[in-house]
Amino acid sequence: MKKIIILGSTGSIGKQTLEIIKKDKNKFKILLLSTDKNINLISKQIKTFKVKHIVVTNKKKYEILKKRFRKIKIFSDFNKIDKELKVKADYTMSAISGIEGLRPTINIIKKTKRIAIANKESIICGWELIQKELRRYKTEFIPVDSEHFSIWSVIKNYHKSDIEKIILTASGGPFLNKKNTKNINPIDAINHPNWKMGKKISVDSATLMNKVFEVIEAKKIFDIELKKFDILIHPKSYVHAIIKLKNGLIKIIAHDTNMKIPISNSIYIGEPNQKFIKSNDINIINLNSLNFQKVDSKKFPVIKILKKITEKNSLFDTILISINDELVSLFLKNKINFLDISSKIQLLINLPFFSKFKRQKPNYLAQIEKLNEFVRLKTRTLSVRSKKK
């Protein structure tokens, strides 16, 4: 039986991973699941998959679940599972959102033969740390964002010098054709037209910040120059990436708007009797109306941030993630308006205090976590204060 770990099993990616496994249940054994607060859902997952090891990071919820399941091992943090997991997992899905997912991701690498990472914040802020652990423990890595999995599935057969251009596609979110975005509320912003996603990533899709992050993430994962990446608006989200090779070939990777496709591939890939999910037939209508558009920087001003990104990994990447995380959180709490997200992030990253981090390299995990906390506090203070004025 293939041994599985899922970090963030109650989130969107975690739930879809378990849905895939459930259909082939006899071939899998779940070693560990984790959640922050959703103990009702993880309780169901414990019973369905007979899981013996659970991590609940919220202290109050941890105490409640511990009383609910007295015969299984429940931990309040990931540091305590090292001695408990005696065997290596065959596959781990890392799907805890935000920078909070970085430490668990790094810690779990030594416990798994393959890790699929769906957490872009971890890769953007701590790729060098992750890569170091991957090499140390000879753990295979597969990206599972639809765009990055699409790129990976093609370029793994080529040398990076063979690649002339990589284009990532963006749907444009719910406001692509909306002229006035001054009075956007959180409910409208999280209503993505094509994908079922969490609130945070849905807002990032609406501002196009998600695509900025995906370019940075791809640059790090594939070690390809930033200038070789581009973004095109593709409202149907049917094409996920376009790779132009120096030999003249252009490869277009398309699939349904279903995250189970890259997830199932990351689970089963390389097996002699691969079992994939049943996908729809080729959508001829979508292929005949791809409707690619260049990104309008007036409608999506955050796209300009890519010009401020350096080729070298630096703590500025953490600054960017942390500012955006806090601004989106403030918007979802109705403390700033939708347009503030784009305007304030561009204002804040230009502050001398933040821009100086372009010269500093991320050397250790605590450094990234401490900086994240400070930047979020600073962002919150400056943003809410300026609104009051």
Read off the pLDDT of residues 83-131 as tens digits, 9 standing for 90 and up. 888 889 999 999 998 899 999 999 999 999 999 999 999 999 999 999 9
Q: Does residue 63 sit within a domain?
A: yes
* Dist. CA 77–CA 140, nearest whole Å: 24
Q: Does residue 135 sit within a domain?
A: yes
Q: How many CB atoms lie within 10 A of CB 335?
A: 15
The three-class DSSP label of residue 343 is helix
Let me know: does 116 contact 100? Beta carbons within 8 Å: no
Q: Does residue 36 sit within a domain?
A: yes
Which pLDDT belongs to residue 383?
Answer: 85
291 with 387, same domain: the answer is no
Q: What is the CATH number of the domain that holds 334?
A: 1.10.1740
278 with 346, same domain: the answer is no
Torsion sign across C-alpha atoms 328, 329, 334, 340:
negative
Torsion sign across C-alpha atoms 183, 187, 192, 198:
positive
Q: Does residue 262 sit within a domain?
A: no
Q: What is the CATH number of the domain that holds 36?
A: 3.40.50.720
Left, alpha or beta for 248 (phi > 0: left; psi -120 to 50: alpha)? left
Left, alpha or beta for 273 (phi > 0: left; psi -120 to 50: alpha)? beta
106 with 208, same domain: the answer is no
Which pLDDT belongs to residue 386?
Answer: 54
151 with 300, same domain: the answer is yes
From 143, 169, 194, give the residue that closes a domain.
143
222 with 185, same domain: the answer is yes
139 with 7, same domain: the answer is yes
> What tens-digit pLDDT sequence spans the chain (389 residues)?
999 999 999 999 999 999 999 998 999 999 999 999 999 999 999 999 999 999 999 999 999 999 999 889 999 988 888 888 888 999 999 999 889 999 999 999 999 999 999 999 999 999 999 999 999 999 999 999 999 999 999 999 899 999 999 999 999 988 888 887 778 889 988 888 777 778 888 999 999 999 999 999 999 999 999 999 999 999 999 999 999 999 999 999 999 989 999 999 999 987 776 666 777 888 899 899 899 999 999 999 999 999 988 888 899 999 999 999 999 999 999 999 999 999 999 999 988 888 888 888 999 999 999 999 999 999 999 887 655 54
Q: Does residue 275 sit within a domain?
A: yes
132 with 195, same domain: the answer is no
158 with 106, same domain: the answer is no
Q: Does residue 232 sit within a domain?
A: yes
> Whole-prediction pTM value?
0.92
* Dist. CA 332–CA 141, nearest whole Å: 33
130 with 150, same domain: the answer is no
From 143, 159, 175, give the residue that closes a domain.
143
Q: Does residue 90 sit within a domain?
A: yes
Domain membership of residue 364 as a residue range: 310-389
Torsion sign across C-alpha atoms 85, 88, 91, 95:
positive
**Residue that is written with structure tokens 């500093």 in the block:** 360
156 with 305, same domain: the answer is yes
From 116, 143, 170, give the residue that closes a domain.
143
Identity at 371, one-letter amino acid code: L
Which pLDDT belongs to residue 208?
Answer: 95
133 with 187, same domain: the answer is no
330 with 283, same domain: the answer is no
Give the pLDDT confidence of 11-69 residue by residue, as tens digits. Answer: 999 999 999 999 989 999 999 999 999 999 999 999 999 999 999 999 999 999 999 99
Q: Does residue 324 sit within a domain?
A: yes
* Dist. CA 316–CA 324, nearest whole Å: 12
* Overall number of domains in the chain: 3
